[in-house]
Structure 1
Amino acid sequence: MTGRDYIDRVYEQVVQRDPDQPEFLQAVREVFDSLPPVVDRHPEFEEAGVLERLVEPERSVKFRVAWSDDQGHVHVNRGYRVQFNSAIGPYKGGLRFHPTVTESVVKFLGFEQILKNSLTGLPMGGAKGGSDFDPKGRTDAEVMRFCQSFMTELQRHIGQFTDVPAGDINVGAREIGYLFGQYKRLRDEFSGVLTGKDMTFGGSLARTEATGYGLCYYTAEALKTLRGDSFEGKTVAVSGSGNVAIFAIEKAGQLGAKVVTASDSDGYVYDAEGIKLDVVKDIKLNHRGRIREYADRVPGAVYRPDCSGVWTVPCDIALPCATQNEIDAKSARTLVDQGCTVVCEGANMPSTPEAIEIYESAGVLYGPAKAANAGGVAVSGLEMSQNSQRLEWTFDQVDQRLKEIMVGIFNKSYLASQEYDRPGDLMAGANIAGFMKVGQAMVAQGLL
């Protein structure tokens, strides 16, 4: 049996078991398509059933989250934690609070997290979790009550040596604080069980900036190595306006680019003079407003209600930082036709398979999410290290380590693409480099 035969057989098993989980199937298919030459060269992976085990979470928890709003009305949401793989370290991955959260979404994110964490070089396994709770429009008191109810169940399954959650969409410093407080109250211990914490109780400097900064460090290294180029003088389109987008805009500007867009789920703004970051930070970080307010406050800026329209704006570099599958084939074709030559992903799986095919056929420099957006979990790992040592590193120390990790991720991916006859294919390279470490660890630890 060839490597392709083995991979196809395992994938069909996944389809039969989880036919109603499109996001998860998409993530598995994307990784598996890169692995035939690896399995051909390493038959021990098939002999040990590595792929069969890789696609099945070690543990999945689904639970009820009951909470009351400020009027005393009871609400019930679903909570999830998928602990996917612990071959190279304790489970590690974010929590997402959003109405689109389903078991399929959590599983795709957890599966991606296995390889992403592997690429960082830090000892972290893969996991993900969250809830279909929507914090938008909720008061601080309501969010606190939800977080406390959520953690009352989650605390049974996590710990600093078992599973260390972090934030993700709609789970920022406020939510992490409430979650940590409830864990501490229930377990009567102060430990590094969550990352993304406030600096007053064990957080790390540069954690808020990490994913956006890391995305730009990765993109800059890819531009330098593959194109002999840089951000200098480039026009950049960014989607999103959360932490990832905000700090990608900030770092791209520091590296000499002009970022002209930002968006949220309602629409996007275009500012030909360059996005005024202080305005976006005030709207999003200070009072959790909507991006449409930017156009009211900045003369010459334009707001459009369709958030997918951000990809109709001419640009040299696109940095999607919003959510999964935000760039479809139509948007990808528009980007390419209008001169975009680089797409590096700050969100998780923001490009559909059809969009990726268009990038590849057009010769676009494509940096996949599991490599390009690994900066957040990398600094989460560094926060874990600081917590274990009871130390606090400076911003510059963390930022320098982040840059080294992101450059290392690019180099691992690039070298793997060359070794397995896919030169310059950074998606295949990331999949292969991430998989090799995890697969070898699984073989070494026996049938678990």
Structure 2
Amino acid sequence: MRMTVIGTGYVGTVHAACMADIGHEVLGVDIDADRIASLAAGRAPLHEKGLDALLARGVEAGRLRFSTSLAEAAAFANLHFVCVGTPQRPDSAAADLRYVDAVVEELGPHLRPGSLVVGKSTVPVGTAARIGRRLADLAPGAEVAWNPEFLREGRAVDDTMHPERLVVGVGSERAEALLRAVYRPMREAGVPVYTTDTATAELVKVASNAFLATKISFVNAMAEVCDAAGADVTVLARAMGADSRIGAQFLDPGLGFGGSCFPKDIRAFAARAEELGAGEAVAFLHEVDRINTRQRRRTVDRARALLGGAFEGRRIGVLGAAFKPGSDDVRDSPALAVAAAVQAEGGAVRVHDPQALDNARAVCPDLTYALDIPKACEGADLVLHLTQWPEYRAIDPAALAGVVRTPLILDARNCLDGRAWGAAGWAFRALGRPARSTGGAS
């Protein structure tokens, strides 16, 4: 099949590369000429496992090419996936739909009758219906469907090629048949397809993100209680997760969520519910957001207390800048927020990350960055573990003790082996865990 992917950010680049890899002819479109040039050369503009190889393969085979022209996109195909960003509005918690609307306004006049515009962007419920009404004026005979993505950064290629489910919100049997044809290899592999109206499809995405964010904030709220009670949140989480009704995934206590999805999506969901008169139904999402933001402050407060009440004149080594491992994304990164807050209070901060240093430097140019772990921790009075990269779990605590000034570490992600660090002479601390259970002395 021939198709276009409009917007070559995180979702669009992955979708375009994967669709080409399963045999479709794909034209990726973006207004960023430099990004298009990089993609046309087979180079991904972001770090994602397996994506570079997929891009290069598609470009070399001639199934994947790129353009800056929406007129060319309309001439190339009748099937268009819209993957542009929907960030939070600067003046409210609502989603900013200017990029989605811009695509509709520019693409619409070029569309041929029978064209199908498929949204993959995360949008407030009702967006597809509104776009459909606008396209009825701009391109009579064109149709709108919604096909939300459920990608995890760091696993996006696998999530696209082997999804747990496909959701298609359509208004006609023809649109459903087209989308089923797009994903035929996935369907033949047994992936379930949930066919529904566009409003339900839009809600499936935001409701899923809201539920996962709630799980994270719930266990972090329990970490606060554990700190107050002298209990161990990691054992609590494992015991809770063993219950099949609860499940262990996303029940990881720590610094909280960040990135380009969860924070802005739960705020936009709550804002849209208010507009619909259903704000009370999702009022709990405001507390989910507050708990998550509070984790960053709690981490800074805990680090300050470990240093006797002040960061001034102290060196702090920071392990992690990306919002999660497997990604170079620093958008709303808890790790970077903590590092910046510590430096703002007078700490001499030096940050390491395996992939995200360039992006971090662009966002926080005043921080100091190190290309290796020992350099980041050299002479440190405190080490903060803020992103759970496997490289940090593989650190030899005894070797790192030789480069710091004081062997003191705060594991804000609760995934390091506290007993191993304690045995190597470190004072090991973690959120929601008493010192006795982390291998360190009080």
Is TM > 0.5 for Structure 1 vs Structure 2? Answer: no
Greater relative contact order, per chain length (Cα 8 Å cut-off, separation 6+): 1
Q: Over alpha carbons, which structure has the higher Rg? A: 2
TM-score, scaled to structure 1: 0.36
TM-score, scaled to structure 2: 0.37
